[in-house]
Amino acid sequence: MSYSILVVDDSPVIRKMMKRSLSLSKLELGTVYEACNGQEALVVLRREWIDVVLADIHMPVMGGTELIEAMSKDPELSKIPVVVVSAERNAQAIAHLKTLGICAHLTKPFTPEQVLHAVDDVLEQVAQRSVA
Amino acid sequence: MSQVLLAGPLGEVTKSVLSEAAFLFCDELSEGAAPLEARLVEATITFEGATPGRITLRLPWHVACEAAANLLGAEPGDDDVEANAHAAVGELLNMISGSALERWFGSGSQWSLGLPSVSEREGRLPSSAPRGELVALAIDDARIELEASLGSVT
CB pairs under 8 A between A and B: 65
Residue B52: its pLDDT value, please?
92
Task: For residues B154 and B152, give the distance between their C-alpha atoms in angstroms, rounded to a whole number.
Answer: 6
Beta-strand pair A52-55/A82-86: parallel
Q: Among A31, A37, A32, which Cα is nearest to A8's?
A: A37
Q: Note the pLDDT tens digit of each residue in A89-102.
A: 888 889 999 999 89
Percent of chain A past pLDDT 90, that is, above it, reads: 71
Does residue A13 belong to the interface with chain B, where contact is any CB pair within 8 Å? yes
Q: Note the pLDDT tens digit of each residue in B51-74.
A: 899 999 999 999 999 999 999 989
- pLDDT-derived band at B17 (thresholds 50, 70, 90) equals very high
Residue A132: its pLDDT value, please?
67
Chain B neighbours among A 24-53 (CB < 8 Å)?
none
Q: Note the pLDDT tens digit of each residue in B38-57.
A: 899 999 999 998 889 999 99
Provide the shortest C-alpha distance from residue B31 to chain A (in Å).
30
Verify whether the Cβ–Cβ distance B109 to A90 is below 8 Å.
yes
- For B4-150, CATH number out of 3.40.1550.10, 1.10.1040.10, 3.40.50.150, 3.40.50.300 equals 3.40.1550.10
Task: For residues A65 and B11, give the distance between their C-alpha atoms in angstroms, rounded to a whole number.
Answer: 30
- pLDDT-derived band at B1 (thresholds 50, 70, 90) equals low
Residue B123: its pLDDT value, please?
86
For residue A98, give its domain range: 3-131
* Number of domains chain A contains: 1
Of B51 and A38, the one with more pLDDT: A38
Would you say B78 and B104 are in contact if contact means Cβ atoms under 8 Å apart?
Answer: no
pLDDT at B6 over 80: yes
Chain B nearest-CA residue for A94: B107
Verify whether the Cβ–Cβ distance B98 to A14 is below 8 Å.
no
Residue B128: its pLDDT value, please?
74
Chain A nearest-CA residue for B88: A13
Write out the DSSP string of A81-112: -EEEEES---HHHHHHHHHTT-SEEEESS--H
For residue B120, give the 3-state DSSP assignment: strand
Most confident of A65-69, A111-115, B27-31, B49-53: A65-69
CATH number assigned to the domain comprising residue A29: 3.40.50.2300
